[in-house]
Amino acid sequence: MNDSILVTGGAGFLGSHLCQRLVHQGRDVLCVDNFYTGRRANIAPLLERRSFELIRHDVCFPLYLEVGQIYNMACPASPVHYQFDPVQTTKTSVHGAINMLGLAKRVKARILQASTSEVYGDPEVHPQPESYWGWVNPIGIRSCYDEGKRCAETLFFDYWRQHQLQIKVARIFNTYGPRMRADDGRVVSNFIVQALRGEPITIYGDGSQTRSFCYVDDLLDGLELLMASAPEFVGPVNLGNPVEFSMLELAELVLRLCGSRSKLSFHPLPGDDPKQRQPDIALASRSLGWQPKVSLADGLKETVAYFRSTLDHDLARS
């Protein structure tokens, strides 16, 4: 069997960390990306490694490669980017899944889908176990992402039932860390960039809505354990950090770590914004022996250091 690993969306935030980790483990990695939200800088240090190959390609089109494993990570993840071209977002999730599943079927590869907590929509159950089917608006501004990812899950499970494909489905909850984009509108990067620039911190609603935040290293541990798990364990499995923080608590922590005096600025809640989202990780803990280890304060320190250096670089270039 071919033991090289395909990472679609490999130049993005999570994908580039995954590529780096796999290359450092001595694996042969094929990174596929169309650079919609990914950046060359994220994978620049890997480009000179012989075990790393970059292929510029849109997963909406078929791809013929010889690989043993596929991590299907391609899809813009931040609302700003996935709502910019919603038709392309749905196509990336659905056509991308069909093409990557077709590839996995042809070469008998094991394939992991980076699904999302967004499949639960605006949940009525807290925390969300995998058995919860979700409360999702099919026609709202987030639907291109939520329903695209739900359809991708359907395709994964149908390929598994119909073609006995080796699938793994991870439902990823809010993950943060170095290499997030400064302009992607996700709350952690927004707060840090605003705090470092001394701009007002944008809080939607009254800031009491909560999120749980998983550090990138913890998430990748979970993805790797899932990929290596027994064939009969297919998921879906939640991967995220169950410790909840309100937006106000997050803002205070970020301000402290950045040493910033930015003020808070309150704005109306955007459409379909879930009020609370928290993973139930009992299944991941029981089946994969996985638990997040990095505290929010420690993960934020690394992330703040990353943004401090990239923002300094941007200022120096302007």
Ligand X SMILES: NC(=O)c1ccc[n+]([C@@H]2O[C@H](COP(=O)([O-])OP(=O)(O)OC[C@H]3O[C@@H](n4cnc5c(N)ncnc54)[C@H](O)[C@@H]3O)[C@@H](O)[C@H]2O)c1
The contact set with ligand X (CB under 6 A) reads: 8-9, 11-15, 32-38, 58-60, 73-77, 92, 96, 114, 116, 172, 174-175
- Minimum CB separation of residue 174 from ligand X in Å reads 5
Nearer to ligand X, 260 or 304 (CB): 304
Q: How far apart are CA 169 and CA 287, in angstroms?
A: 13
- Minimum CB separation of residue 171 from ligand X in Å reads 8
Nearer to ligand X, 46 or 74 (CB): 74
Residue located via tokens 């099919």: 138
| Residues forming a β-bridge with 71 | 7, 112
For the question of residue 145 being annotated catalytic, the response is yes
Question: Is residue 311 classed exposed, middle or buried when 0-12, 13-18 and 19+ CB atoms within 10 A define those classes?
Answer: middle
Residue located via tokens 């071209």: 85
- Minimum CB separation of residue 155 from ligand X in Å reads 14
Question: Is residue 199 classed exposed, middle or buried when 0-12, 13-18 and 19+ CB atoms within 10 A define those classes?
Answer: middle
How far does the chain reach from its first CA to its final CA, in angstroms?
50
Nearer to ligand X, 30 or 262 (CB): 30
DSSP one-letter code for 279:
B
- Minimum CB separation of residue 14 from ligand X in Å reads 3
Nearer to ligand X, 81 or 260 (CB): 81
Q: How far apart are CA 240 and CA 221, in angstroms?
A: 11
Q: Please identify which of the residues 36, 145, 159, 176 carries the catalytic annotation.
A: 145
- Minimum CB separation of residue 198 from ligand X in Å reads 26
Q: Tell me if residue 144 falls in helix, strand or coil.
A: helix
Nearer to ligand X, 45 or 198 (CB): 45
Q: How far apart are CA 131 and CA 116, in angstroms?
A: 14
Q: How far apart are CA 253 and CA 240, in angstroms?
A: 20
Nearer to ligand X, 8 or 128 (CB): 8
State the SS3 of 236-272.
CEEECCCCEEEHHHHHHHHHHHHCCCCCEEEECCCCC
Nearer to ligand X, 159 or 215 (CB): 215
The two structure tokens encoding residue 256: 């402290």
- Minimum CB separation of residue 108 from ligand X in Å reads 23
- H or E stretch covering 27: none
Contact 254, 296 (CB under 8 A): no
- Minimum CB separation of residue 43 from ligand X in Å reads 9
Contact 11, 44 (CB under 8 A): no
Active site residues: 145
